[in-house]
């Protein structure tokens, strides 16, 4: 990009627009193209770790539960690969409160944070020649995990004028018989949008039409403060299979605990 960008921003560094745009990448680009005398302190509104702010604390009941588990000496050995049965049941019961079809412990797989849930989901679905549909803008770890497993990434745009809704026409144009899933991040990261019940149903209906599944990233579930309430994608599991990914990190202010889950929502499966 040539010419002065205005507001103290110059053209010292050529601007490129790769498919995978990250928040840190954009911030770094802006700072690199800003005159040193114009640099001001930046207040980050996109920080993913709430514990960095002293005004936010995880609840004492959570700390007490960890202390009780440690001092009981009952959990120092190897646990099942898929997670402790009581943990899986607790998550199944919690998520089932909002679902028409109740989950059981066997529907839940415990992971080391949601990042491992993403890796696990893509590892399960990967096959030779497969592709996955990712939102743009979106969370960059999906593309990294897909590349590691030789899964082709195909991006569909989110529509800013419609509350960052999924461009379903683009989804249909991109998908083929090798498409292993459609990733939907709700509430949105990085845009902060919250999809309506109707739009979520339209997404799942599209997945059914394309004979693929929905990977629902709900790490920010219930952190919704606008007109649209949070609706779990698992509600529509009877239309098309849904893999729900979540964690304790954001809502319960414990990202360092690295406790996440992958849940299967498929009453017909």
Sequence ranges of the domains in the chain: 71-265
DSSP for residue 6: B
| pLDDT tens for each residue of the chain, 269 residues long | 444 444 444 444 444 544 445 667 777 787 777 776 766 776 666 677 888 878 888 989 999 999 999 999 999 999 999 999 999 999 999 999 999 999 999 999 999 999 999 999 999 999 999 999 999 999 999 999 999 999 999 999 999 999 999 999 999 999 999 999 999 999 999 999 999 999 999 999 999 999 999 999 999 998 999 899 999 999 999 999 999 999 999 989 999 999 999 999 998 87
What are the percentages of helix, strand and coil residues in the chain, rounded to 5? 35, 15, 45
Write down the pLDDT at residue 5: 46
Distance CA 142, CA 156 (A): 14
In this structure, what token pair is assigned to residue 257? 């605990």
Phi/psi zone of residue 15: left (φ > 0), alpha (ψ -120 to 50 degrees), beta?
Answer: beta
Per CATH, the number for 71-265 is 3.40.640.10
- How much is the pLDDT for 18? 47
- Helices 113-125/141-148 angle, 10° precision: 40
**Global pTM value:** 0.85
What is the rounded distance in angstroms from the CA atom of residue 142 to the CA atom of residue 126? Answer: 13
Q: So what's the pLDDT on residue 145?
A: 97
Q: How far apart are CA 52 and CA 17, in angstroms?
A: 31
Tell me the Ramachandran region of residue 166: left when phi exceeds 0, alpha when psi lies from -120 to 50, beta otherwise: beta
DSSP state of 38: G
* 167 half-sphere exposure, CB direction, 13 A CA radius: 18
């Amino acid at each position: 990009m040539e010419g002065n960008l205005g507001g103290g921003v110059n053209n010292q560094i050529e601007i490129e627009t790769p498919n995978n745009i990250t928040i840190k990448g954009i911030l770094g680009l802006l700072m690199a193209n800003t005159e040193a005398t114009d640099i001001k302190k930046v207040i980050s509104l996109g920080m993913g770790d709430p514990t960095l702010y002293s005004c936010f604390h995880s609840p004492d009941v959570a700390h007490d539960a960890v202390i009780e588990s440690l001092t009981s000496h009952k959990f120092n050995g190897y646990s099942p690969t898929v997670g402790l049965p009581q943990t899986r049941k607790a998550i199944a019961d919690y998520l089932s409160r909002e679902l028409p079809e109740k989950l059981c412990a066997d529907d839940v797989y415990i992971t080391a944070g949601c990042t491992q849930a993403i890796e696990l989901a893509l590892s399960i679905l990967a096959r030779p020649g497969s592709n996955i549909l990712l939102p743009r803008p979106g969370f960059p770890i999906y593309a990294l995990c897909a590349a590691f497993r030789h899964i082709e990434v195909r991006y569909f745009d989110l529509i800013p004028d419609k509350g960052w809704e999924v461009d379903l026409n683009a989804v249909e144009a991109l998908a083929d018989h090798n498409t292993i899933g459609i990733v939907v991040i709700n509430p949105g990261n990085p845009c902060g949008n919250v999809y309506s019940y109707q739009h979520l149903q339209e997404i799942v209906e599209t997945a059914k039409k394309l004979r693929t599944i929905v990977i629902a990233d709900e790490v920010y579930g219930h952190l919704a403060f606008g007109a649209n309430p949070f609706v779990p994608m698992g509600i529509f599991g009877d239309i098309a299979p849904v893999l729900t990914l979540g964690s304790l990190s954001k809502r319960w202010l414990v990202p360092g605990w690295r406790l996440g889950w992958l849940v299967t929502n498929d009453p017909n499966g």
